[in-house]
Amino acid sequence: MREPNFDNMLKVLERKQPSRPTLFEFFLNTPLIERLTGEKVAATWGSVDYKRHNMHAYHKAGYDYVTINTGFGFKRADVHREKSISLNDGFMITDRKSFEAYPWQKPDEFDYSDIDLLAKELPKGMKFISCCPGGVLENLISLVGYDNLCFMLLDDPGLVQEIVDAIGIRLARHCEIFALFKSVGAMISNDDWGFKTQPMLSPDDMRKYIIPWHRKIVQIIHKSGRPAILHSCGNLEEIMGDIVDDIGYDAKHSYEDTIIPVEDAYEKWGSRIAILGGIDVDFICRNSPDAVRERSRKMLKRAESRGGYALGSGNSIPEYVPQEAYLAMISAAME
């Protein structure tokens, strides 16, 4: 097991060369956490004890940080869950009356004590990378419903702006609170923006409603002296210029081979923004551990002299990802 050193992650986020190959992952899964730690996880997901197990799993796997999500969250309706959920299920706001009736809580009313509690046990050299309870667009769609949002953009754009502002100001405050903790070394703004072929909203609507709040959130993160990472799925080709040059994110995470392979993304944008992960989840699932290891080695080699890259999956490691393939991927960084 190698010694963690968060400076390596910082160098990646600054588009510099880390002292050794560096890993990045948004989240793992419970069986994998149990395998990495050798301990049974009986705790409920999201509890302090679960986060403790997760922290030790990241350490054992060779990461220089662990992601943490705690404190504020938006109240959401119960939705029917199978393998996926509908973007039209569970909405709570349909008009101005329901907007005003929605229980808009403030981040300061929530408990963030998990951070200090776990920081006492954080392995030497590691830091937390905080993430949000979804982003501006994700929460907008969750509260309004995707089809409803499309109609509302035409019927009542003023109400859309008010809902967006109510979401954005709370996420911005959430980041301000995280900035108070010295154990937090960087922040992820996680907000899925796109489909396979395009953003969920038109580029003009993204620039009108969503991007201004991301700009403010990144300003808050940068003001605290920390790098800002965007985790966003989908085809964002039309607004990558906004992500890099306008909003000012330091790194982008989430890539799919069917949209743009990470190798191509690195060549296209790696000189302007750090590229994180990108070994396609479908590729990891469908190919042999040897093939996964070889692709991971080649990606590390590609970035070896230029920096600005950390090895990981294209999105995250859900339970259906074969553990041997995941272990083959991270082994490329250990060699």
3-state SS class at 67:
strand
Cβ contacts of 322-327, under 8 Å, gap ≥ 24: 322/284, 322/285, 322/289, 323/31, 323/32, 323/35, 324/289, 325/284, 325/285, 325/287, 325/288, 325/289, 325/292, 326/32, 326/284, 327/289
- Cβ–Cβ < 8 Å for 229, 129: yes
Where residue 217 sits, what CATH number does that domain have? 3.20.20.210
**Cα four-point dihedral sign 104, 107, 109, 115:** positive
* pLDDT for residue 88: 74
Q: Is residue 150 part of a domain?
A: yes
Residues 6+ apart with CB under 8 A from 150: none
* pLDDT for residue 91: 84
- Cβ–Cβ < 8 Å for 279, 329: yes
Q: Is residue 178 part of a domain?
A: yes
* pLDDT for residue 289: 98
- Which single residue is written with the structure tokens 């049974």? 40
* pLDDT for residue 162: 98
Q: Among 196, 207, 152, which Cα is nearest to 314's?
A: 196
Q: How many domains does the chain have?
A: 1
d(CA 76, CA 93): 10
List Cα–Cα distances, 181 to 129, 177, 209, in angstroms.
11, 8, 30
- Cβ–Cβ < 8 Å for 18, 307: yes
- Cβ–Cβ < 8 Å for 134, 140: no
d(CA 160, CA 258): 32
Query: pLDDT tens digits for the chain (335 residues)?
Result: 799 999 999 999 999 999 999 999 999 999 999 999 999 998 898 999 999 999 999 999 999 999 999 999 999 877 655 666 677 777 899 999 999 999 999 999 999 999 999 999 999 999 999 999 999 999 999 999 999 999 999 999 999 999 999 999 999 999 999 999 999 999 999 999 999 999 999 999 999 999 999 999 999 999 999 999 999 999 999 999 999 999 999 999 999 999 999 999 999 999 999 999 999 999 999 999 999 999 999 999 999 999 999 999 999 999 999 999 999 999 999 98
Tokens for 56? 């030790």
Q: Is residue 1 part of a domain?
A: no
* pLDDT for residue 177: 98
**81: domain range?**
6-334
Residues 6+ apart with CB under 8 A from 209: 136, 140, 160, 161, 164, 201
List Cα–Cα distances, 257 to 254, 272, 281, in angstroms.
10, 21, 9
Enclosing H/E stretch for 284: helix 281-286
Burial class (CB in 10 A: 0-12, 13-18, 19+), 220: buried
Q: Is residue 269 part of a domain?
A: yes
Q: Among 21, 26, 28, which Cα is nearest to 56's?
A: 28
Sheet holding 251-253, edge to edge: 65-68, 127-130, 184-190, 228-231, 251-253, 274-276, 309-310
Report residue 255: phi and psi, to 5°: -140, 145
Report residue 305: phi and psi, to 5°: -95, -10
